[in-house]
Amino acid sequence: MSVFVDASSKVIIQGFTGQHATFHAEDAIAHGTQVVGGVTPGKGGTTHLGLPVFDSVEEAVRKTGATVSGIFVPPQAAIDSLYEAVECGVEVAVIIADGVPVQDMIRVKRYLAGRQTTIIGPNSPGIITPGACKVGIMPSHIYRRGRVGVVSRSGTLNYEAVSQMTALGLGQSTCVGIGGDPINGTDFKTVLQAFANDDETDVVVMIGEIGGQQEVEAARWAAQYLTKPLVCFIAGVSAPRGRRMGHAGAVIAGDADTAAAKLDAIEALGHRVVRNPARIGETIAEVVRETGGPVPALSV
C-alpha cells in the first residue's frame, strides 16, 4: 500500500510532447511508472516516447484507463487542464507549474466540492512512491523504498531530507510535494490523514516553511489522531517579516507565522522538531530506532 499513487497507477502526461514533460516522463518510465500516454492538442494520433498521444484527456482516459495525470503546461493553461482532467474522472492530478493565480485556485477549491479527485500542487515537485510510481520532477535516483512518509511544501527540502535519509539507509513509502503557493489543492492535514491510514508508513516527516498556519493545524490534528511519530522541520528561521521568501506562500504576516513560532507550537503538541536542516536525516533515524525499526549506525 502507498499514498495516492502506486505500481498500479496508470499515468498520462498533459503537455506530453513538451521539452520538460518529455524529460520527466522518460525518468518516470525508467523508474517503473506506468505512463500509458499523453495529451498534446493537435498531435493526436501520433506517438511520443513510443506511447500514444491524444488530443484530449477524455480520449486518453477512455482509451488507456488512466487514473493519474501529470499536468506539465504553462500556468495560464494549468487550471483549464486541471478541469479537463477532473471532469474525465482522473483520481489524482499533479500541477507542476508555479505562477498559477491565487484567484484561480480559489475557484478550483469551490469546483472540487463533492468531487473525489486529489489535486497535488500547483508549484509542486509532484509525488513519488519509490520503485513504483513518480509523477512530477523529483530526481528519482535519490529515493528508495522504505517506511517513512514525507510531505513537504518545498521540493528542494524534500530532496535534501530524502538524500540524508537514503545515505543513512532509510527509505520512503511515499513523498508528496504539496507546493509552495498560498492555496494548495491538497494540504498537510490531508496528507497526514492518508499516511495515518497507510500500513506501510511507520514514521511521518512534515517539512514546512514560514507563512500561514497549515503546519500547526496539521500537527494539532496529528496530536489527537496520528498514532505514528511525526518529525517536523520549518524553514525560514531568519526570514524578515513581510518579505516573500521564494514561494508565493512563504511570507510572515504575523508573529505566529514565523518558523520559530511554528516549531515551538508543534513541539508543544508533543511532536519531534528539527531546528537545523542538516539534522533532518539523523533525527528521523533516531525516531525510527525508537519505534524499533532497523537503522544502520550513524556516523556523526
User: If you average pLDDT over residues 237-244, what whole number do you get?
Assistant: 58
pTM for the whole structure:
0.92
What does the pLDDT read at residue 36? 98
Domain ranges of the chain: 9-122, 143-300
In angstroms, the CA 237 to CA 227 distance is 29
pLDDT band (50, 70, 90) for residue 246: low
pLDDT band, residue 120 (cuts 50/70/90)? very high
What number is the average pLDDT over the span 64-77?
97
Residue with cell 509525488: 127
Active site residues: 247
Instruction: Please give the pLDDT value at position 260.
Output: 86
* Pairing verdict, β 126-129 and 133-136: antiparallel
Tell me the CA distances in angstroms from 39 to 95, 134, 215, one per residue in order: 14, 18, 35
The 10s digit of each residue's pLDDT in 219-239 is 999 999 999 999 999 987 765
pLDDT band at 254 (very low <50, low <70, confident <90, very high): low
One-letter amino acid at 109 equals K
DSSP string, 126-166: EEEETTTEEEES--GGG--EEEEEEEES-HHHHHHHHHHHH
Query: For 19-29, what is each residue's pLDDT tens digit?
Result: 999 999 999 99
CATH architecture of 9-122: 3-Layer(aba) Sandwich (3.40)
CATH placement of domain 143-300: 3.40.50.261
Q: What are phi and psi of 4, to 5 degrees?
A: 70, -45
